[in-house]
A and B are shown apart, each in its own frame.
Chain A
Amino acid sequence: MTIKLIDGEPENPTVEQGRRKGERRLHFGDAWQYSPAPESPSKVRLEPRYELFIDGQRREPSTGRYFQTINPATEQPIAEVAEAGEQDVDAAVAAARRAYENVWSKLEPLERGKYIFRIARLLQERARELAIVESMDGGKPIRESRDFDVPMAAAHFFYCAGWADKLKYAFPGREVSPLGVAAQVIPWNFPLLMAAWKIAPALACGNTVVLKPAETTPLTAMLLSDIIREAELPDGVVNIVTGAGPTGAALVSHPGVDKVAFTGSTAVGKAIQRQLAGTRTRMTMELGGKAANIVFADAALDQAVEGIINGIFFNQGHVCCAGSRLLVEESLHDLLMRKLCDRMSTLIVGDPLDKNTDIGAINSKQQLEKIRELVESGEQDGAVRFSTECAMPDRGWFFPPTVFTNVAQSSRIAREEIFGPVLSVLTFRTDAEAIERANNTCYGLSAGVWTDKGSRLFEMASKLEAGVVWGNTYNKFDPSSPFGGYKESGFGREGGRQGLLAYLEVDR
């Protein structure tokens, strides 16, 4: 079982364009046979049915309806979850208002902070359980939920907790006060982490919240509601209403809400803004992206390849800041593609609960269809596709790591957010062309730059229209680091001192 050199595959131009005719290439074949290493779900005890979490209580939904949440790796239902209607949203907002006025705004700030510290600790104590449920419900590899989502969620609560009693120092000379009740709608790609990004700063700044998790991934939010009860937070400070689009629409347009925080698609974000036009409801929007990951010929090549892989295949590419447009300096293109395709061929697609898995399940059937549709359009547009021939599970929703070369700037796969493990490659010759191409999008969430030259890195970083620029790295996050977009990728920041502004009234 060794890595072999085999003859080239002339029928696949993407893989072969970097090779001389007849040159042999690495063939991994069965070089690495991993024994299955699944994380056992046996210690996780899920309830068959989850109710709403309103005013500190489990509440049956007024609709009487429940929907199933499905494990995307098995296509089997995991649990039933309540579908909140308008009455339930009403009750949740009213509970949040009462909690805000009677308790949360009356507490000493440090005491508020101490509750939030408790949440952070409880998340750490139940970390493995949360990671397993996150992977079961959403399809992400257990390595990511265990090593990234859950610890980062805890870190956000821990970070924000410390701000609670220091807000007056955050913006010196400027008066700050909480906003009141925050309505928060979050997506399915990082369910627990997004809940933390939303709830932690809101609470630290003295607001109370009503959170709506995504309908395909509600389970870790329900576990979080247990933790919130365990942390003995006053009733109504955090309320969680589950449901689909209509529940979210009822929540964000509720007149009792002072602030709306949304993370999700640009289309839905715009719809919410239209709904709230003229109301003076405060908003922050974290929307879509089509990030350029720019690789110069002088970059440390192997590190760049790892960064590209991490940039687009992290969380199956279900990442708003995914490096989905690879811009390669023309002279490097063939060599880079050869290395990239070789590296892609080692990625393991499979059971999200297996610790060897690199790429888990696509979150939903609907999302898988969207990815397939866009990939098909890429092929029709004349782009050259390479998908790895890795073993695929025989059930569940999966998509192989895919890269397109020969992509036109006007092609849909170069312009639209695919939100899947699909990379589009374009080339450039000069720094100015790289900037021009990178900024030629309505989005502006993030970008990557790979170069050995510091002055070039800073020049690129300053000219890229993106809220986060990763230099010689990609997809790094931290509670102390503001995250958010330029242009149609939204407005407002999450994380850091700047993130507090989303939940404070500052004199203006």
Chain B
Amino acid sequence: MNERRQAGSDRRRPATSEEADGWRVAVKKTWKLYIGGAFVRSESGHSLVTADGDDNYPHGTRKDLRDAVKAAIGAQPGWAGRTAYNRGQILYRLAEVLEARRSELVHGLVRGGSADAETEVSASIDRVVSYAGWSDKYQSLLATSNPVAGPHFGFSVPEPVGVVGIVAPERPSLLGLVGSICPVIVSGNAAVVLGSEADPRTALGFCEALATSDLPGGVVNVLTGRRSELLSHFASHMGLRALDLWNVDDETAKPLEVAATENVKRVTRRALDERGWYDTDRTTSPSWIHSFVETKTIWHPMGA
């Protein structure tokens, strides 16, 4: 077998009759958005080209976002209704699936320009494991029993906020994606995520792991496209209850935060450099889960 025939990125063409004999044409992947548990083309019918020029990827639009939010709204109550133990097992299953796809993820990250793809994949898998363990524990830390001054039993518990829009960091394209999704979904939220524009294939490739991980369709939906076009639609969509904006500067954020007030979205805007995503003390802190839960306080009288 000719080595060239194996390589997906090989652009060489058979030039001679010897080469043409037995030449194998590599099957290239059509990159698709991940919405409602299915891989779909952008409704726009348009594609963008990856930085290396090797692939087209979907040019996601406002309509794709709406479809994704609709899918997420449909999936979220069922996901929140799973037991915390079950959510933990599904996240752990995701780590298992990612581990099995390690070489593919590394390969994708290398193509996408990751500085240290092996380390990034390991950290991403470990991040999922860490959050799998959080699924039935953060409640005990965030909830309170309220010693009210009267004959009432009172307590407060964290509940998912609903559907969260995540604008993932450009880099690290896998760890930033995984590291922003996990703290959102672990508590029963659904997410609509805008993947890295610098490395869109990694975000979409990661969805293949999601699709085989027992995570119900629609819990995580991933779009690719232009940040400059899509951010304002994330900010204004009435179905999103919260926004998780990574590395969005004040100037860009201003119109987004204005639009977000329309339905009083909870906007969390943070900046973290590439190395920061490897700081596990910080990135697996319960504060990160806390940003996307609501506190519900319940009262009931005591006594006959």
Contact = CB atoms under 8 A, between A and B. Distances in A.
Interface string B274-290: 00000000100111101
Contacts of B300: 457, 471-473
B241 interface: yes
A481 interface: yes
Interface in B114-160: 141-142, 144, 146-150, 152, 154, 156, 159
Interface stretch (B18-26, B63-71, B93-101, B251-259): B251-259
A278 B144 contact: no
A488 B264 contact: yes
A277 B261 contact: yes
A277 B291 contact: no
B263 A174 contact: no
Contacts of A481: 146, 148, 154, 156, 297, 299
B269 to A, nearest CB: 7
B46 interface: no
Given A174-B287, A496-B156, A507-B282, A278 B251 contact: yes
Contacts of A269: 264
Given A487-B264, A491-B266, A467 B295 contact: yes
A285 B264 contact: yes
B295 to A, nearest CB: 5
Contacts of A496: 144, 146, 156, 297
Given A487-B263, A498-B144, A468 B285 contact: no
A487 B253 CA distance: 21
Contacts of A497: 144
A280 interface: yes
Interface in B200-234: none
A468 B253 contact: no
Contacts of A462: 159
Interface string A469-485: 11111001010111110
Q: For the side of the interface on B, what is the size category?
A: 35 or more
Nearest to B238: A442
Contacts, number: 128
Given A270-B261, A481-B148, A488-B263, A277 B253 contact: yes
A466 B157 CA distance: 12
A469 B260 CA distance: 26
A483 B297 contact: yes
A279 interface: yes
A508 interface: yes
B102 to A, nearest CB: 30
A490 interface: yes
Contacts of B148: 476, 478, 480-481
Given A476-B150, A478-B148, A469 B257 contact: no
Contact of B299 (A173, A274, A473, A506): A473
B282 to A, nearest CB: 7
A316 B161 CA distance: 32
Contacts of A280: 250, 269
A461 interface: yes
Interface residues of A, number: 48
Question: Which of B255, B264, B286, B300 lies at the interface centre, i.e. has the most chain A CB atoms within 10 A of its CB?
Answer: B264
A508 B152 contact: no
B10 interface: no
Contact of A478 (B149, B161, B255): B149
A249 B296 CA distance: 30
Contacts of B261: 270, 273-274, 277
Contacts of B13: none
B270 interface: yes
A155 interface: yes
A68 interface: no
A269 B264 CA distance: 9
Given A174-B287, A496-B146, A469 B295 contact: no
Contact of A476 (B156, B258, B299): B299
Contacts of A461: 296, 298
Contacts of A442: 263
A21 to B, nearest CB: 38
Given A476-B150, A508-B270, A467 B263 contact: no
B288 A278 contact: no
B252 to A, nearest CB: 8
B54 interface: no
B137 to A, nearest CB: 13
B297 A467 contact: yes
Contact of B264 (A270, A276, A506, A508): A270
A287 interface: yes
A498 B158 CA distance: 10
A336 B119 CA distance: 66
B262 interface: yes
A493 B295 contact: yes
Interface string B158-187: 010100000000000000000000000000
A486 interface: yes
Given A280-B269, A496-B156, A482 B295 contact: yes
A277 B297 contact: no
A493 B18 CA distance: 74
B299 A470 contact: yes
B301 interface: yes
Given A497-B144, A498-B144, A270 B298 contact: no
A353 B233 CA distance: 53
B294 interface: yes
Contacts of B287: 174, 506-508
Contacts of B263: 442, 487-488
A470 B253 CA distance: 38
A441 interface: no
B154 A469 contact: no
A469 B299 contact: yes
Contacts of A172: 141
A406 interface: no
A177 interface: no
Contacts of A287: 264
Contact of B296 (A469, A487, A488): A469
Contacts of B264: 266, 269-270, 273, 285, 287, 487-491
Question: Which of B261, B263, B287 lies at the interface centre, i.e. has the most chain A CB atoms within 10 A of its CB?
Answer: B261
10 closest pairs, A vs B, by CB? A278-B254, A277-B257, A478-B148, A273-B261, A471-B300, A481-B146, A508-B287, A277-B258, A488-B264, A270-B261
27 contacts: A270-B262, A273-B261, A277-B254, A277-B258, A278-B254, A461-B296, A467-B297, A468-B296, A468-B298, A469-B296, A471-B298, A472-B300, A473-B152, A473-B300, A473-B301, A476-B152, A481-B297, A482-B144, A482-B156, A482-B297, A487-B241, A488-B263, A488-B264, A489-B264, A490-B264, A491-B264, A507-B287
Given A285-B264, A498-B156, 18 more contacts: A273-B257, A273-B264, A274-B258, A277-B256, A277-B260, A278-B254, A468-B297, A469-B298, A471-B300, A476-B150, A480-B154, A481-B299, A486-B296, A487-B241, A497-B144, A507-B282, A508-B270, A508-B287
Interface of B: 141-142, 144, 146-150, 152, 154, 156, 159, 161, 241, 250-251, 253-258, 260-264, 266, 268-270, 282, 285-288, 290-291, 294-301
